[in-house]
Amino acid sequence: MKFDSHYAKLWERASERIDDLGIYRWIVNIAGIGPKDSVWDRGCGPGRGLLRVCEVSNPNNSLILGTDQNEFLLKSAKDRMEKNGYAVNYQYKPMVSIPSVIEDKFTSEKMEYEYKVFDNSSTELEEGKVNLIGNNYLTSRYEFVKGHEFDKVMFVFIGGYRLQSDFDLVKEILLHSYSYLKDNGIFLYVNREWVTPKTELDEFPQKILKVVKGYELIDYGFEESIENYAAALFPLQNVSDFSQHFRSREVANKYVKYLNSTSFENFVDFLTEVSWNNDLSMGLCFYKFRKV
């Protein structure tokens, strides 16, 4: 998904709600983050999850890194950390040859070149600070982290598409994380879901582990809750992108009307009111992999 600036602003709002619901504390708990753990939050967004990580594993004791491709959100994470008294190493270095930005000037050679510049520039991680680093392309390519290993790597997508359509992205990030995890290190993936728990939820890790070697699945689960789901869905206003989540165009249009005119609480009521397919559940799912 292209995380554009409009969506980023909406996400800033949604993640506040997600934090209010206690979901980031839940995630930190599931990841099993302890006081001395080094943690990399891949796609940290506005940093509300990373802030909860820091409450448990203080950057004074351990290496903390948040990466994201969206400058608005990474900057918001920086402000949030500083407001909470943490020193921050912030570096956002946009790459100019992104296809969507300058279509005609893009070549893969130029892209490779820029990656090297990004990775070899002064992108040093600093102990004792919250490191917030990014550029506007896929964080699954970042190599500047070389030489560091983490106890926990998290990919808290939450606002992503459905499980199956995120398959390639999760695969890529899981593969890339391998060299940056300590032995027995944990990779945690969390997403908002609307699933048939007995099929989609169970099949996903098996499919992933067929193509990504070196991990075992140690836990996974599903927190069924309309509030959880609504918090993650709340910012999605573009019906043409997201109508796939609804049974019909009619329901999708109703959804947009609610989004534009009502509060979060009304939105939850709306979700409760519209009749969903009986065999689908809404909530958040998590998958916990261990490097073996």
Residues near ligand SAM (CB under 6 A) are 1, 3, 11, 15, 43-46, 48-49, 68-70, 73, 138-140, 156-159, 169
* For ligand SAM, the closer CB: 170 or 201: 170
Q: CA-based angle 199:24:94, to the nearest 5?
A: 95
Q: What is the arrangement of strands in the sheet containing 281-291, beginning at the earlier edge strand?
A: 88-92, 130-134, 64-67, 39-42, 150-158, 181-195, 281-291, 215-224
Cβ nearer to ligand SAM, comparing 60 with 238: 238
Task: Determine the residue with CB nearest ligand SAM.
Answer: 45
Can you tell me the distance from the alpha carbon of 210 to that of 84, in angstroms, rounded to the nearest whole number?
Answer: 42
Q: Give 82 or 127: the residue with its C-beta nearer to ligand SAM.
A: 82
Least distance in angstroms from the C-beta of 3 to ligand SAM: 4
To ligand SAM, the closest distance from the beta carbon of 245 in angstroms equals 14
Q: Among all chains, which residue has been given the structure tokens 């300058």?
A: 102
If you search the block for the tokens 């070697």, which residue do you land on?
213
Minimal distance in Å, beta carbon 273 to ligand SAM?
A: 25
d(CA 140, CA 177): 8
Q: How far is the CB of 17 from ligand SAM (least distance, A)?
A: 11
The CB-of-29 to ligand SAM minimum distance in angstroms stands at 15
Instruction: Tell me how far apart the alpha carbons of residues 262 and 75 are, in angstroms, rounded to a whole number.
Output: 28
Name the DSSP class of 121: S
For ligand SAM, give the closer residue by CB, 70 or 89: 70
Comparing CB distances to ligand SAM, the nearer of 136 and 196 is 136
Residue 49 or 205: which CB sits closer to ligand SAM?
49
Secondary structure class of 278 (helix, strand, coil) = coil
Q: Nearest distance from residue 24's CB to ligand SAM, in Å?
A: 7
- The residue type at 145: V
Q: Which helix (H) or strand (E) holds 151?
A: strand 150-158
Is 214 buried (19+), middle (13-18) or exposed (0-12) by CB count in 10 A? Answer: middle
**DSSP output for 217-243:** EEEEEEEE-HHHHHHHHTT---HHHHG
Least distance in angstroms from the C-beta of 283 to ligand SAM = 15
Looking at the Cβ atoms of 18 and 195, the one nearer to ligand SAM is 18
